Structure 1
């Protein structure tokens, strides 16, 4: 049986507007069920441990509604503190999006180390929406950026504009621009349409609609 660790933000406010932040609810709910239905064990870690904040819960989204009543959601709310986890015990790690991680994962030395070691050991890494912000500033053992030359996507400037996510007020930077600055080969589709790409064992998705596709591609890679 394969094991995957969801690594979740602990930040509940963002920007000078102090906008509510956290993980995007559906970006955990949708992948969670794809993984467990394929006999992949899911564990949860967050930067601070405990109950991570979330945004975007929609009771009309049946998968989210089901997840909120599940044992998985109960376990998520008792998430492990990332510093207490031996990530080498997992076959994959996954970064759900939400604005929170743009604040607490971009420069976190432990997160950088976890990603580098997971990547260099040939294990699968997935991230969706704002989740690829966690991949920023990861340097490999040879000193190069992980993102250099990699096919990557994420939430786009066009989508930030539609959501009225202002620089400084709500988001600290434009994610697509920063990924490109570190050498990512960035591609995207129309705003809020599902879009998933992978480069080796690195899987990224553009927006919440892409979360199921990221999970499915990760499952495919894990089955090899």
Structure 2
């Protein structure tokens, strides 16, 4: 049976005290989307508020980005459904892309937490890249423990944030993951790095986006 992937994306377009323009980082949406599509998977995109989900950093020197923008992906981002309308029953994995946007509307979002915990509890794969793991920091399982407690994870590092958006984010993702008991690791800034721990897959930065999708596929095809 064809696998189904649920993308959960942010609806935020500004962040921080200076109202920095933001959105879902194109590479972190497009690279996984096109990688899953090439594998023959069905993909649905849901956002926090529904409707058009903002895209940030449109880099057209990436062939997967261009394919996404010229294909069904762009339409999917323009016409997302609201996350409180989703049933995870038919999905095999959930993926949360980064960009600064999810920092705004995901950490405290109960609907996001329910999707991620529900997917994990039913035996599905939970994945996120760059700032996307902010969606994981408050997710609890049925036994009351945090999903990431004791898990090996990565995400956008403090070293990367220092020269990117330190003045715009309310907290450091790296610190937040560690505070929840996660075993955080990272590689050199802006280099591809993916960590898989069972059915949890996280990537450090934009360069890791395609690798996260490939790791999810490896799990689903095992």
Per the normalisation by structure 2, the TM-score is 0.97
Task: Please give the secondary structure, in 2, of the residue aligned with 1:158.
Answer: helix
Task: State whether residues 102 and 131 of structure 2, in contact with CA within 8 Å, keep that contact through their aligned partners in structure 1.
Answer: yes
Task: Please give the secondary structure, in 2, of the residue aligned with 1:193.
Answer: coil
Q: How far apart are the structure 1 equivalents of 2:146 and 2:27? A: 30
1:194-223 residue CA offsets vs partner (Å, 9 max, x unmatched) = 000111100000000000100000001111
The yes-or-no answer on 1:40 pairing with 2:41 is yes
Q: Give the match for residue 207 of structure 1.
A: 205
1:11-45 residue CA offsets vs partner (Å, 9 max, x unmatched) = 10000010011100011111111101111111100
Q: Give the match for residue 216 of structure 2.
A: 218
Q: After superposing the two structures, state which structure 1 stretch, 9-18 or 51-60, moved more.
A: 51-60
Q: Give the match for residue 74 of structure 1.
A: 75
Deviation (angstroms), 1:73? 1.4
Deviation (angstroms), 1:172? 1.1
Runs of 4+ in 1 over 2 A off after TM superposition: none
Q: How far apart are the structure 2 equivalents of 1:178 and 1:53? A: 25
1:101-141 residue CA offsets vs partner (Å, 9 max, x unmatched) = 11101001111111111111110011000000000111111
The yes-or-no answer on 1:106 pairing with 2:107 is yes
Task: Please give the secondary structure, in 2, of the residue aligned with 1:93.
Answer: strand
| Number of equivalenced pairs | 221
Q: Give the match for residue 191 of structure 1.
A: 189
Deviation (angstroms), 1:162? 2.1
Q: How far apart are the structure 1 equivalents of 2:89 and 2:97? A: 19
Q: Give the match for residue 141 of structure 2.
A: 140
1:43-95 residue CA offsets vs partner (Å, 9 max, x unmatched) = 10001111101111112222212211112211221111111111221111000
Task: State whether residues 124 and 199 of structure 2, in contact with CA within 8 Å, keep that contact through their aligned partners in structure 1.
Answer: yes
Q: Give the match for residue 177 of structure 1.
A: 175
Task: State whether residues 56 and 99 of structure 2, in contact with CA within 8 Å, keep that contact through their aligned partners in structure 1.
Answer: yes
Task: State whether residues 34 and 67 of structure 2, in contact with CA within 8 Å, keep that contact through their aligned partners in structure 1.
Answer: no
Query: Which structure 1 residue ranges, 5 or more long, are not aligned?
Result: none
Q: How far apart are the structure 1 equivalents of 2:46 and 2:113? A: 15
Deviation (angstroms), 1:6? 0.5
Q: How far apart are the structure 1 equivalents of 2:219 and 2:122? A: 14
Task: State whether residues 149 and 180 of structure 2, in contact with CA within 8 Å, keep that contact through their aligned partners in structure 1.
Answer: yes
Counterparts of 1:58-97 in structure 2, within 5 Å, are: 58-97=59-98
